[in-house]
Chain A
Amino acid sequence: MSSTIESLVNKEYQYGFVTEVDTDTIPPGLTEETVRLISKKKEEPAWLLEWRLKAFRRWQTMTEPRWPNVTYEPIDYQAHTYYSAPKSVTPLQSLDEVDPELLKTYEKLGISLTEQKRLAGVAVDAIFDSVSVGTTMKSELAKAGVIFCSFGEAVREHPELVQKYLGSVVPYSDNFFAALNSAVFSDGSFVYVPKGVTCPLELSTYFRINAANTGQFERTLIVADEGASVSYLEGCTAPKRDEHQLHAAVVEIVALDRSSVKYSTVQNWYAGDSEGKGGIYNFVTKRGKAFTDAKISWTQVETGSAITWKYPSVILQGDNSVGEFYSVAVVNGKQQADTGTKMIHIGRNTRSTIISKGISAGQGQNSYRGQVKVLPKAEGARNYTQCDSMLIGNRCGAHTFPYIEVANNSATLEHEASTSKIGEDQIFYCKARGLNTEHAISLIVAGFCKEVFKELPMEFALEAQQLLGISLEGSVG
């Protein structure tokens, strides 16, 4: 029976194709020269090069974190390529100039960049390897005063905003991978929503790694000014390759007073084959800072990558600020995930909610790692944590590492955890009612993930549904 279950959850990765395009790729290796070369290719101002160099020098003094509950062969950072761009991309005036091969790539991924087929109500920034291919719906957004563009463009067009907020939430010295990203990041997305504006569209970035042996180091910066509100979606895929590829991204969110930012991810990087060959190393730093009365909500559905190391966090800086983390992490085959969140309560009456659902199948290892920290001045802080694990089969593992530090007696913290197993009994019960095994598993998993899926925006809820091969109908009813 368990082998049936495993074969059903082992669906073929359908985004594993490679796009043939001419690229401008720099030689492998990482030195100060590499950093200068990337900055030069991006025609960056001196302050940014300086910032990169400081990050690089800091990175050289740091060591890779060893505390995550994952194992992998040492990474040879000199063997990776740190910049690769499709030749046709530089510099584009409109999407009509985009290489048709690239447009086709995004069509195949279900992301249409062309004017007529666009998803209504969603603006997309498409990142291919190291650069942004194009951003849609710009004029509509401009009417509302919303800036949504590639990071490179933001540096050129809005340097004062970038300089003010870059590194303000995740400093370049934060951790090994954040320092590496700060030194070599090539592109990413930038969002600025002005005071009091509710962004009229869902914003979406679609990340695609194509080139071999190339790392993707994108940087996303989202700033919601006072009273603003925005919902942002991120999707990721990569071709099937035998070598591991490195993805070390940084996402920073600044939510100023009374603003609200919702950030959703459906991560479906190539996970490697069933023997653990190939797949993406997804080492990502995501953090937001919420000022007075502001709210930051992270929702993630993590199904891909050979290794996931990721803790979308919220610094609850201002009084009454709110942080949320809703996560579904699925490991299968030989995938490993060490993921969770940090909620740092600094302001008074700050509130945080953590709902984590880990699903382990095959020989996958899934770890939840979460920190809730209440600082001395966080009078009346509240946290609710719920952390559930589901096991499918006998060879996988689920682990939970909660860290709680409380320095204020008025704080209220709740932590609930459970581990369950999809049993033959549950499946037989469904079968005895006429549902086949596949339908039964979908149903059971959908029920398990219900609380997280209901947080996803509609478009992504559908993608998540397809990803897990499950019907969402039951979980939203």
Chain B
Amino acid sequence: MLKITNLHASVGEKEILKGISLTVNAGEIHAIMGPNGSGKSTLAQVIAGHPGYEVTSGSIEYDGQDLLELEAEERAQAGVFLAFQYPIEIPGVTNAYFLRAAYNEIRKAHSEPELDPIEFLDVMEEKLKVVEMDASMMQRSVNAGFSGGEKKRNEILQMAVLAPKLAVLDETDSGLDIDALRIVAEGVNKLKRPDNATIVVTHYQRLLNYIIPDHVHVLAGGRIIKSGGKELAHELEAKGYDWLLEPVTA
């Protein structure tokens, strides 16, 4: 589904990703771990198409298309979803309106009829349960005045509604208490299907107690320095990152 080959990306003069290669198949969950500043969030943003990063070489193939050729909105319409580390506030625009606008853009892209607010209510009602959110949240402005946990849950709600093929969760666990973490993780698990894939970007292992990855990759200094199965995450939790980093600097 996703094939990243020798990807290099920079912000201004500074190269952050220095040759990433990664293949993700349908039905898989990949965890990308690594110390702060290793390039994890950059990778997530580049996949989603953030204009602040310049891809200097390498390629990303998604569903047989050149992903880098697509605008961010076209990627979203094609089924790529980024759950933001810091969800953005849009005052005065209700969550319900925003979600329906996004939902309809994706339907339009697939030549499906748009839903009116009444029809959309039914879609919402079911999805709200996935993240244990109250319907009153839909009438509040997008993320404005939300607590950290509410913002993250709202991201997962959007993911539930938009039903992406490829979901990238960028540090979705950061700032969550244990209950919120459970709700978010269960939400992600409920949304798992054989034809979609998830990339979980995280600093800590604890999220992976709830979302069991098929593959774990360690990113440091803009490169994947180690890949393995779910046991790698436990090893990292026990030993930290240093034992992996030393050979790189030596």
A-B interaction: yes
**A residues at B contact (CB < 8 Å):** 1, 420, 424-426, 428-437, 439, 443-444, 446-451, 473-475, 477
Contact A431 B73 (CB under 8 A): yes
User: Main SS of chain A's interface residues?
Assistant: helix
Is B93 engaged at the interface, CB distance under 8 Å to the other chain?
yes
- With contacts defined as CB atoms under 8 Å apart, how many contacts are there between chain A and chain B in the complex? 90
Closest residue on chain B to residue A4 by CB atoms: B51
Is B220 engaged at the interface, CB distance under 8 Å to the other chain?
no
Closest residue on chain B to residue A425 by CB atoms: B88
Assess A433 versus B96: contact at CB under 8 Å? Given A428-B51, A447-B90: no
Residues of B within 8 A of A432 (CB): 48-49, 72-73, 75-76, 81-82, 84
Residues of A within 8 A of B90 (CB): 426, 429-430, 443-444, 447
What is the bound-complex CA distance between A83 and B67, given in angstroms? Answer: 63
Task: Please give 16 more A-B residue pairs, beta carbons under 8 A apart, in addition to A435-B73, A446-B92, A475-B92.
Answer: A425-B88, A428-B72, A429-B87, A431-B72, A431-B73, A432-B49, A432-B73, A432-B76, A433-B76, A434-B73, A434-B76, A436-B73, A436-B105, A473-B97, A477-B94, A477-B139
Select B162's contact among A430, A434, A448, A451, beta carbons within 8 Å: A434
Least distance between A211 CB and chain B CB atoms (Å): 41
Residues of B within 8 A of A435 (CB): 73, 101-102, 105
The 4 A-B pairs with the shortest beta carbon distances in the complex, nearest first, are A447-B92, A474-B97, A447-B93, A434-B105
18 contacts across the A-B interface (CB closer than 8 A): A428-B88, A429-B84, A432-B82, A433-B158, A433-B162, A434-B76, A434-B77, A434-B105, A435-B101, A437-B73, A443-B93, A447-B91, A447-B141, A450-B92, A474-B92, A474-B94, A474-B97, A475-B93
What is the bound-complex CA distance between A433 and B96, given in angstroms? Answer: 14
What is the bound-complex CA distance between A279 and B76, given in angstroms? Answer: 41
Closest residue on chain B to residue A418 by CB atoms: B91
Closest residue on chain B to residue A357 by CB atoms: B92
Contact A443 B91 (CB under 8 A): no
Is B135 engaged at the interface, CB distance under 8 Å to the other chain?
no
Least distance between B113 CB and chain A CB atoms (Å): 16
Closest residue on chain B to residue A436 by CB atoms: B73
Residues of A within 8 A of B97 (CB): 473-474, 477
Closest residue on chain A to residue B117 by CB atoms: A477
Closest residue on chain B to residue A450 by CB atoms: B92
Assess A448 versus B92: contact at CB under 8 Å? Given A431-B73, A443-B98, A474-B101: yes
Is B109 engaged at the interface, CB distance under 8 Å to the other chain?
yes
What is the bound-complex CA distance between A1 and B50, given in angstroms? Answer: 11
Contact A439 B51 (CB under 8 A): no
What is the bound-complex CA distance between A439 and B90, given in angstroms? Answer: 13
Contact A433 B102 (CB under 8 A): yes
Contact A431 B49 (CB under 8 A): yes
Residues of A within 8 A of B162 (CB): 433-434
Select A431's contact among B76, B81, B106, B139, beta carbons within 8 Å: B76
What is the bound-complex CA distance between A429 and B102, given in angstroms? Answer: 11
Least distance between B89 CB and chain A CB atoms (Å): 8
Is B52 engaged at the interface, CB distance under 8 Å to the other chain?
yes
The winner among A435, A448, A473 for most chain B CB atoms within 10 A is A435
What is the bound-complex CA distance between A221 and B30, given in angstroms? Answer: 71
Residues of B within 8 A of A433 (CB): 73, 76, 98, 101-102, 105, 158, 162
Residues of B within 8 A of A436 (CB): 71, 73, 105
What is the bound-complex CA distance between A474 and B102, given in angstroms? Answer: 12
Residues of A within 8 A of B93 (CB): 443-444, 446-447, 450, 474-475
Residues of B within 8 A of A477 (CB): 94, 96-97, 117, 139
Closest residue on chain A to residue B143 by CB atoms: A429
The winner among B97, B102, B109, B162 for most chain A CB atoms within 10 A is B97
Contact B51 A1 (CB under 8 A): yes
Contact B106 A434 (CB under 8 A): yes
Contact A429 B73 (CB under 8 A): no
What is the bound-complex CA distance between A424 and B94, given in angstroms? Answer: 20
Least distance between A404 CB and chain B CB atoms (Å): 25
Residues of B within 8 A of A439 (CB): 101, 105
The winner among A1, A425, A426, A430 for most chain B CB atoms within 10 A is A430
What is the bound-complex CA distance between A439 and B109, given in angstroms? Answer: 15
Interface hits, B60-88 → A, CB 8 Å: 71-73, 75-77, 81-82, 84, 87-88
Residues of B within 8 A of A424 (CB): 51-52
Least distance between A301 CB and chain B CB atoms (Å): 15
Least distance between A313 CB and chain B CB atoms (Å): 26
The winner among A430, A434, A449, A473 for most chain B CB atoms within 10 A is A434
What is the bound-complex CA distance between A474 and B104, given in angstroms? Answer: 14
Closest residue on chain A to residue B102 by CB atoms: A433
Residues of B within 8 A of A444 (CB): 90, 93
